[in-house]
Amino acid sequence: KSERAIEYLKKRGLTGQIAKTFQLGYAPEGWQNLESVFKKYDDEALNIAGLVLKNDQGKRYDRFRDRIMFPIHNVSGKVIAFGGRTLKAEKDIAKYFNSPESDLYHKSNTLYGLHLAKNAMVKEDNCFLVEGYTDVIALHQAGVENVVASSGTSLTEGQIRLIRRFTQNITILYDGDKAGIKASFRGIDMILKEGLNVRVATFPDGDDPDSYSRKHSSEEIQLYVKENAKDFIRYKTALLLEEVGNDPIKKAGLIRGIVDSIALIPDAIKRSVFVQDCSQIMGIGESVLFLELNKSLQENLKKGPGKPVSSEEGGVHTTVEAPTPFDETIPIPDALSAEAQERDFLRILLM
């Protein structure tokens, strides 16, 4: 039955060599193929590994059945979990699911393909971030190796810090679906909060990273991204301005949302540059935006350094840790109260 899996991969344009590179496999149909191999292992070990389960009658059975298997590696290249894509057409069957979390596998601290991408990320000083397994694999096959995936989960601080070990620059590759892009805004805010530089590139004509990479060479992909990637703050401003039109109420809400994102950036110089850019794009005076920025910084201060700020946007819930607006790298904004300035001045003296 593995011929079905091979045929599926061929239809996706994947070669045998790239399948070997990513160690792709197949879990056959049947309930006890893997369980029969692991009979000598006890229930607890197999349950923790997430490979074999037990039903109400105490009978053990395989978790993955009739699925293309995508091994998930840690940063050093050791397999720590699996993702499986079904080959069945039934709508009530999940298309993808992963191994459960374990002592080895914490999805919030794992990026698919990082073990193969880390050297290229250092060399290119950039990380391409995509959503799925096949996006990573197809780009690798096209010769673009500095690419990782969040594997369909909301981006986490742990994943962002993994990327930061190898580069300060992230370019997020989207398929052009505006609703999906908006839903990811809070995750991108977390990247800003961590001090990384974020750019966004969308592919044309409904293409996603997978389909686009099957039609273009490495040089063409790199050139397209270079010419079309936009800084996230500018991209978010332009995208939302297009939606609000001339509605003044919606535009006011847009301005506050943009300023809240800028306030997360630790570097004061970058914040100032983004305020100037947004002032020109939105036709709003810089002084007004700086005033709103100071208000946002004050709100973050009231929440306290390190306390989570929970938000929901586009149906996706994420938690963003409040930045510390007062540290040795960030000047105290003029608009903050004298009491707040005195308190911070004392903190710095004590440190």
- Contact call for residues 54 and 47 (beta carbons, < 8 A): yes
Phi, psi for 53 (deg, rounded to 5): -115, 175
Tokens read off for 297: 């910084």
Phi, psi for 127 (deg, rounded to 5): -125, 120
| pLDDT tens figures, 269-294 | 898 999 998 888 888 888 888 888 88
Rounded to an integer, what distance in angstroms lies between the CA atom of residue 271 and that of residue 251? 20
Question: Given the DSSP bridges, would you call strands 230-231 and 197-202 parallel, antiparallel or unpaired?
Answer: antiparallel
| pLDDT tens figures, 28-51 | 888 877 777 777 777 677 777 778
Rounded to an integer, what distance in angstroms lies between the CA atom of residue 97 and that of residue 149? 15
Confidence of residue 1 (pLDDT cuts 50, 70, 90): low
Mean residue pLDDT across the chain: 82
Rounded to an integer, what distance in angstroms lies between the CA atom of residue 322 and that of residue 305? 6
Phi, psi for 277 (deg, rounded to 5): -65, -45
| pLDDT tens figures, 103-131 | 889 999 999 999 999 999 999 999 999 98
Strand partners, 198: 170
pLDDT at 336: 52
Cβ neighbours of 46 (radius 10 Å): 20
For residue 192, is pLDDT > 80?
yes
Confidence of residue 176 (pLDDT cuts 50, 70, 90): low
Question: Given the DSSP bridges, would you call strands 169-174 and 127-130 parallel, antiparallel or unpaired?
Answer: parallel
Task: Taking residues 3-27, report their average pLDDT.
Answer: 91
Strand partners, 86: 67
Task: Tally the C-alpha atoms within 13 A of residue 22's C-alpha that lie toward its C-beta.
Answer: 31
Coil/strand/helix, residue 276 = helix
Cα dihedral 172/173/176/180 (nearest 10): -50
For residue 330, is pLDDT > 90?
no
| pLDDT tens figures, 198-240 | 999 988 877 888 888 888 888 999 899 999 899 999 888 888 8
Rounded to an integer, what distance in angstroms lies between the CA atom of residue 274 and that of residue 34? 55
The residue ranking higher by pLDDT, 102 or 320, is: 102
Rounded to an integer, what distance in angstroms lies between the CA atom of residue 128 and that of residue 221? 11
Task: Taking residues 251-278, report their average pLDDT.
Answer: 88
- Contact call for residues 286 and 276 (beta carbons, < 8 A): yes
Rounded to an integer, what distance in angstroms lies between the CA atom of residue 311 and that of residue 288? 25
Residue (of 129, 133, 189) closest to 162 by Cα position: 129
Rounded to an integer, what distance in angstroms lies between the CA atom of residue 136 and that of residue 120? 13
- The least confident of 15-19, 53-57, 175-179, 293-297 is 175-179
